[in-house]
Structure formats: C-alpha cells, structure tokens
A and B are shown apart, each in its own frame.
Chain A
Amino acid sequence: MSQPESFGGRFRTHVADLERALEADDEAAFRGAFERLREKLNVEMNPELKRLAADAQSALRRFRERARLEVLADQEVPDARKRLAHVVKLTEEAAHRTLDLVEQSSPLVDRAALGAAQLIEEWGLHGSRQLAVATLWPERVLETLERTLRDSEHLRRYLSQMLLAQGYQDLSGQIIGSVVTLVVELESVLGQLVAIANGEDTRRMPVLKLEDLQALSQARGAAGPQVPGVKNGAVVEGQADIDALIASVAGGPR
C-alpha cells in the first residue's frame, strides 16, 4: 500500500523550480513554476471546499425541512398576527361592553339611593307614624318600592351581562395559547439558524414540532376559537345550525 506523500514531498519540487527561476532571473520560468504551484494548491483545496459547501447546503436543507420555514413564514406567522389582532378586538369589546353596563347601572343605583334618602328625610319631618300616615308618604313609599323593584330587575340583567362579557378571557386565553406555541417553535428555529451561522452541527439538535407543542395548549381534535381571516374548515353558523346538525345525526339529541 502506498504511503500518502508528505507535505515536503508535495511542494519541494515546486519551491525548487521557483528558486532556480529566481537565480536565473528568468521571469517566465518563475511565473510558470508559480502557476504550477497554484494549481497544485487548488487541487488539494478543492475537495475540502466542496465538502464544506455540501455540508452547509445539507445543513440548510435539513433545517428547512425540519423547521417548516415556508409554512411558518407564509401561513402561521400571518395567522398569529390575525389571532393577536382578534384578541385585541375581543378584549376591547368586552371592556366597552362592561363599561357601558356599569354606566347604565349607576343611575339605577343612584335613583334607588335617592328615593330611599328622600323617604327617610320626609319620615323624620313628619315626626310620628300617625302624622306620616295622614300624608301621601305611604303612597310615595309604594311608588318608590315599585320603581326600585323595576330598576333592580334591570340591574340584575346588567350584572348578568357583565358576567358573560368576561367570557372573552377564556376565548382570548385559548387564542394566545396557540400563538405562544408558535413563538416557542420560532425560538427553536432561530436557535438553529444561529447554530448554522456559527458552523455548528445541527443534526443532533432537538427539533420542536408545532404538533407536539400544540398538545401543550390544545386538546386532541380541538381547533380553538374561530378567528376571522384564519382558515379553519367548515364551521357552523348559529345555534339553529348546531341544533339541526345534532338532530341530523342518528338518534338526535338525547
């Protein structure tokens, strides 16, 4: 088996040619010897360069396949933007709805308090039950009680609506949860990009897949709340549609 040529052996003749050309002051011979040396160096370096280029290309290809770059860039990041915009809308609407209801409730509470205060004041002016009964005070009490009862019913309805308005927290929480999983995946992708830029081997780096991440925030088979502009398959329109769908399934509602 032949031994690989040593470093000295590979370049000694070229250096000797260069020295001879210099001593002979022969520029053409010097340039010829130099060119041969350069070719020799190229021949030796090319396989190494090719290997490095192939490694980089392979790492990038692997990275693209595993990181789902196209899907992330084309679909999921824009979807995440729409999801977050929808969360902003949900929270804003809920806040306005709650504030509206508080504004509608306040006059009712004020009116009840004012009516009660006036009746108490008048009771004090009459001085005794007999005197109060002899005036229109009892009628005014009845009128105030009837009005307070009506106002209380409105107030109860407003409070119930305030309660329901807080449901945005559940929906926005689910939507934000899905965006968080995307951010975690993007963080992993950026980590791999940095590793590739630093010339590290990414083959053994752990890869986070969105499906695995989604399991953390979303149950199997669950799609989460509907978000305008984000495609999510065929969805129902209203309660009547849901009821009809359930009734259409064998057995109907139980």
Chain B
Amino acid sequence: MSNAMKFLVVDDFSTMRRIVKGLLNELGYSDITEADDGNTALPLLKNGSFDFLITDWNMPGMPGLDLLKAVRGDAKLAKLPVLMLTAEAKREQIIEAAQAGVSGYVIKPFTAATLKEKIDKILASKAAA
C-alpha cells in the first residue's frame, strides 16, 4: 500500500469530514472521497475501488455499524480495512463493532498521532495477512 491509497471518509458532520481529510492530507494521502452517511457511502464503495474506509457511528440514515456490517457482508468489500471514528464510548458498543469486524476504533476527540498510529497498524496487519 502506498500514499496513492483511496480513502472514503463517512461522517454526517461536514466539519469532521474536513478535519479527517486535512489530517490524511498531512499524512500524505490525497485521494479522499467524502460521504455523509452509510446510504451514500455504500454505493460509492461498491462502484469504486477504495482501499480504506473511515466512518462515524452515529449518523442519520444508515449508521456506521450498519455500514460496517454491509461491507463485511459484501464479498467484494469484505476485506476492506474499516476504521470507526466516533464519539460512542460504551464498552458494549465497541464489542459490537469488534464482533461486526471493525479493523480499528478511535474515540472522538482524538489526536493526529492516534489517527496515524491506527491507520499504520491496520495497514501493517493487512499487509501481513
């Protein structure tokens, strides 16, 4: 994987999408697409060739957990790395996300270092698989 990777950032708050996009730019990733919930993200994922999905949980329409389940349930997308970036901090929610196959989970507010570390870790384990 290289910095030519394609990211899809899904969050209903446009400010958070811009923040994540800005941080990814700083990390050297420039091919970034945005979506505001699972319903708009899923067709993009199915029709595009994304390498990494970063999604919020709490969104109107299709929440992040449902998007994650849809991704894992789609043969073409099943192996896609999915990082959940959310304010949801309950243990039971994190367990639910892990059971649904989330690759990484970061709670807002977060730091640029945490985001970088998670992305690097997910990509490293994908490369090792």
Give residues of chain A (4-62) contacting chain B, Cβ–Cβ below 8 Å: none
Tell me the residues in window 210-254 of chain A with beta carbons closer than 8 Å to chain B beta carbons: 216-226, 232-236, 239, 242, 245-246, 249-251, 253-254
Q: Give 1 or 0 for each of B82-111: 1 = CB within 8 Å of chain A CB.
A: 000001111111111111011111111111
Instruction: List B contacts of A168 (CB < 8 A).
Output: 109
Complex interface: stretch among A81-89, A170-178, A193-201:
A170-178
- A222 touching B99, Cβ below 8 Å: no
Binds B, one of A103-111, A114-122, A141-149, A159-167: A159-167
Q: Contact at A167–B91, with CB atoms within 8 Å? A: no
Complex partner residue of A174 from B18, B87, B101, B106, CB under 8 angstroms: B87
B73 at interface by CB-CB < 8 Å: no
Q: Which of A216, A224, A250 contacts B58 (CB 8 A)?
A: A224
**Contact, CB under 8 Å: A253 / B103:** yes
CB-contact partner of B108 in A223, A225, A233, A246, under 8 A: A225
Contact A174 B58 (CB under 8 A): yes
Asked if A216 contacts B60 (CB within 8 A), the reply is yes
Q: Is A246's CB under 8 angstroms from B102's CB?
A: yes
B42 in the interface (beta carbon within 8 A): no
A226 close to B89 (CB less than 8 A): yes
Instruction: Please tell me if the beta carbons of A170 and B16 are within 8 angstroms of each other in the complex.
Output: yes
Which residues does chain A contribute within 8 Å of B122, judged by CB atoms? 253-254
Please give the distance in Å from B42's CB to the nearest CB on chain A.
15
Residues of B contacting A226 in the complex (Cβ-Cβ under 8 angstroms): 87, 89
Q: Which of A171, A234, A250, A253 contacts B104 (CB 8 A)?
A: A253
Q: Which of B15, B81, B94, B114 contacts A166 (CB 8 A)?
A: B15
Q: State the interface size on chain A (CB cutoff 8 A).
A: 38
| Residues on the A chain within 8 Å of B58, using CB | 174, 218-219, 222, 224
Q: Is the Cβ of B26 less than 8 Å from the Cβ of A221?
A: no
Cα A171 to Cα B61 with chains together (Å): 19
Contact of A254 among B96, B103, B114 (CB under 8 A): B103
Q: A223-B90, A223-B93, A234-B92 are in contact. Are A254 and B81 (CB under 8 A)?
A: yes
Pick from A220, A236, A249: contact of B89, CB below 8 A: A236
Bound CA–CA A161/B26 (angstroms): 12
* Cβ contact within 8 Å between B107 and A236: yes
Which residue from chain A places its CB closest to the CB of B129 in the assembled complex?
Answer: A254
Closest to A226 in B: B89
Most buried by B among A168, A232, A249, A251: A249
Report chain B residues within 8 Å CB of A254. 81, 101-103, 122, 125-126
A166 to B44, CA, bound (A): 27
Chain B proximity of A164: nearest CB distance (Å)? 6
Question: Across the interface, which residues of B come within 8 angstroms of A75, CB to CB?
Answer: none
Q: Which residues of A contact B (CB under 8 A)?
A: 156, 160-161, 163-164, 166-171, 173-174, 216-226, 232-236, 239, 242, 245-246, 249-251, 253-254
Q: Given A246-B94, A246-B97, 16 more contacts at CB 8 Å?
A: A156-B26, A160-B22, A163-B22, A163-B23, A164-B19, A166-B18, A167-B19, A170-B16, A219-B60, A225-B87, A234-B90, A234-B92, A235-B90, A235-B91, A239-B114, A251-B101
21 contacts between A and B (CB under 8 A): A160-B23, A163-B23, A166-B15, A167-B15, A168-B109, A170-B11, A171-B109, A219-B58, A219-B64, A219-B65, A222-B58, A222-B88, A225-B89, A232-B89, A234-B92, A235-B89, A251-B101, A253-B103, A253-B104, A254-B101, A254-B126
